[in-house]
Amino acid sequence: MVKVVAGNWKMHHGPDAARRFFSRFRPKVENGSVRLVFFPPDLSLEAAIGSTRVPADFGVQNIHWEAAGARTGETSAEMAREAGATLALIGHSERRHIFGETDAEVDRKVGAAARAGLVPVVCVGELLEERRAGRLEEVLRRQVGAFAGSLAGVAEFMVAYEPVWAIGTGETATPDDAAEAHGIVRDALGTLGRAPVLYGGSVKPGNAAALVSAPDVDGVLVGGASLDPDVFARIAEACGGAGS
The residues that touch ligand 13P, with contacts defined as CB under 6 A, are 8, 92, 162, 167-168, 200-203, 221-225
* 101 catalytic per annotation: no
Shortest approach of ligand 13P to residue 72 CB, angstroms? 25
Residue nearest to ligand 13P (CB): 223
State the amino acid at position 188 in one-letter form.
A
How far from the centroid of its chain's Cα atoms is residue 195's Cα? Answer: 13
Q: Of these residues, 94, 105, 126, 162, which one is catalytic? A: 162
- How far is Cα 73 from Cα 89, in angstroms, rounded to an integer? 17
Shortest approach of ligand 13P to residue 140 CB, angstroms? 16
Shortest approach of ligand 13P to residue 201 CB, angstroms? 5
Q: Decide whether 67 or 172 has the Cβ nearer to ligand 13P.
A: 172
CB 45 within 8 A of CB 25: no
Q: Decide whether 143 or 202 has the Cβ nearer to ligand 13P.
A: 202
- Helices 15-24 and 229-240, packing angle to 10 deg: 50
* 130 catalytic per annotation: no
Q: Decide whether 2 or 231 has the Cβ nearer to ligand 13P.
A: 231
Distances (CA, A) of 223 to 39, 92, 119: 10, 11, 19
Alpha helices in 31-118 (DSSP H): 45-51, 77-82, 93-97, 103-116
Q: List active site positions.
A: 92, 162
